[in-house]
Amino acid sequence: MLLKNHVFTTLFKIAAVSLTLTSCFAAANVNQPKNIIFMIGDGMGVAHTTSYRYFSDNKSTKVVERTVFDELLVGTAATYPDDNTYVTDSAASATALSSGIKSYNGAIGVDVNKKPVLTLLERAKQLGKTTAIVSSSQINHATPASFMAHNESRKNYNEIANAYIDEKINGKPKADLMLGGGTSFFIRDDRNIVNEFKSIGYNYIDKLEDLSKLNSLPALGLFAPVGLPFAIDNKELPNRVTAMTKVALELLATNSSEKGFFAMIEGSQIDWCAHANDISCAIGELHDFSEAIKYAKAFTEKHGDTLLIITADHSTGGLSIGANGTYDWKTDKVRQIKSSLAVIIPTFLGLDKDASASEVQSTWAKHVDFELSDAQVSKIQAALHSKLKKEKMTREIKAIINDTTLTGWTTGGHSAGDVQVFATGVNSQIFAGQQDNTDIAKKLFIQLNSAK
């Protein structure tokens, strides 16, 4: 669904009129943030940030230390979509967070009638701000896409990627800086969008280690065919969201227009690990995201004209800290797992059908530092003989990790519990208390529209 430019212009005019009214309403508040940093932890429910607190606990002290999430907490948000399900997906939720409009699951920047809705990033660009998106997923995945594009389905990855260069505001692409994954959608047989961006003056890099070479905007960095490798599996640079955030904020601080900037930064893969019910993977992502938040917080404190707002689009996996009736959660065991299930399970599927107990143990030891019991070894050997080998192996390995760490999961999908809202900087108090996810965008529109 490609939008014709004139439809877009009309849409923006209508939006600009209604937003002028909103800005009159907020005119009494003279101190507006020049820069807005909007960070989204995909799938990051209350249990996820809590699990990260206990995981990070310094056991030599009596108290459990607070995390950056605890320091910045100001409120909560409901996440239900507009399709009678209560349980949102990332597209509907990101559309709510980007536009203030509730939509159906799968919607990218469109309302329930599939009509495009103005996004915060677009509005910021209209107002002359410099704009950026950063994600550890492909940059055309549901969350960043809902700030950048308008499509009836999140699955139309190529159309969404096309929109990143085809849809323009004041004659320019909407984002001045894009960092994340996605070469397979931006460099295709039918179209090379990377070359198109280069031809209009964008710097392009495709290696994370070249991040420090970026010193001017506009710029595009695509570091993987689809999403970046999981933090836990990325031994060289596990904190890649942090690395991208640092470079993005420094670039924005030194290259933005006098109007400031709007940046959307996503910790995309907390969700992916939680879909896989993989606790160590999720903790790796939460650590990376929390380090990125620490950096953004310090940036906000240093630049007094900035608002930092952080939330989640929904909670994933129905995570439970403690399981099976036992009053404990084994962070020491979680810490002993060195690879994601996405790495561990295929390794076991590759073993010979009649692998010995010691082969099973030594394969396990390459990824996990606690030993398997004899019964657990037998279960893995039985899975190797099963007709449904992949399903059975996945079930057995998940069970070993969840039973050992006392971690519970109720779903491979999302759940509808409210998410947390964290904020600091200029006008951060407006996010206090319980709100709807659409309220977050509405409040940010007021900040944008009433800025001097």
Q: Which residues are catalytic?
A: 90
Residue closer to Zn ion (CB basis): 122 or 271: 271
Residue closer to Zn ion (CB basis): 271 or 396: 271
Residue closer to Zn ion (CB basis): 271 or 439: 271
Least Cβ distance, residue 362 to Zn ion (angstroms): 34
The yes or no reply on residue 266 touching Zn ion (CB under 5 A) is: no
Least Cβ distance, residue 42 to Zn ion (angstroms): 6
Of 369, 362, 335, give the one whose Cα is nearest residue 347.
362
Point out which span in 107-115, 168-176, 271-279, 444-452 binds Zn ion (CB under 5 A). Answer: 271-279
Of 402, 406, 401, 446, give the one whose Cα is nearest residue 427.
446
Point out which span in 225-233, 263-271, 395-403, 444-452 binds Zn ion (CB under 5 A). Answer: 263-271
Site map for Zn ion, 337-376, x if CB under 5 A? ----------------------------------------
| 433: alpha, beta or left? (left if phi > 0; alpha if psi -120 to 50) | left
Site for Zn ion in 18-57 (CB under 5 A): none
Residue closer to Zn ion (CB basis): 137 or 239: 137
Residue pointed to by tokens 């996010």? 431
Point out which span in 25-33, 92-100, 206-214, 266-274 binds Zn ion (CB under 5 A). Answer: 266-274
Asked if residue 346 has a cis previous peptide bond (ω within 30° of 0), the answer is no
Residue closer to Zn ion (CB basis): 182 or 317: 317
Least Cβ distance, residue 407 to Zn ion (angstroms): 18
Site for Zn ion in 125-144 (CB under 5 A): none
Residue closer to Zn ion (CB basis): 129 or 275: 275
Q: What backbone phi and psi angles, to 5 degrees, belong to 312?
A: -125, 160
CA-derived radius of gyration, the chain:
22
Of 250, 171, 174, give the one whose Cα is nearest residue 214.
250
Three-class SS state of 318: coil
Closest residue to Zn ion using C-beta atoms: 271
Three-class SS state of 423: strand
Widest CA span in the chain = 75
What b/e string do you get for 318-332 counting C-beta neighbours within 10 Å, with b at 16 or more?
bbbbbbeeeeebbbe
Least Cβ distance, residue 126 to Zn ion (angstroms): 30
Tell me the site size for Zn ion, rule CB under 5 A. Answer: 1
Least Cβ distance, residue 312 to Zn ion (angstroms): 11
Length of the chain: 452
Least Cβ distance, residue 52 to Zn ion (angstroms): 18
Candidates 271, 278, 291, 439: give the one binding Zn ion (CB under 5 A).
271
Point out which span in 8-16, 153-161, 264-272, 355-363 binds Zn ion (CB under 5 A). Answer: 264-272
User: Is the C-alpha dihedral spanning 63, 67, 69, 73 positive or negative?
Assistant: positive
Residue closer to Zn ion (CB basis): 201 or 413: 413
Distance of alpha carbon 132 from alpha carbon 154, whole angstroms = 20
Task: HSE, CB side, 13 Å, CA atoms: give it for residue 431.
Answer: 32
Least Cβ distance, residue 329 to Zn ion (angstroms): 23
Order across the sheet with 35-41: list the strands.
Answer: 203-205, 219-222, 177-181, 130-138, 261-267, 35-41, 306-312, 419-425, 73-78, 433-436
- Contact residues: Zn ion, CB under 5 A: 271
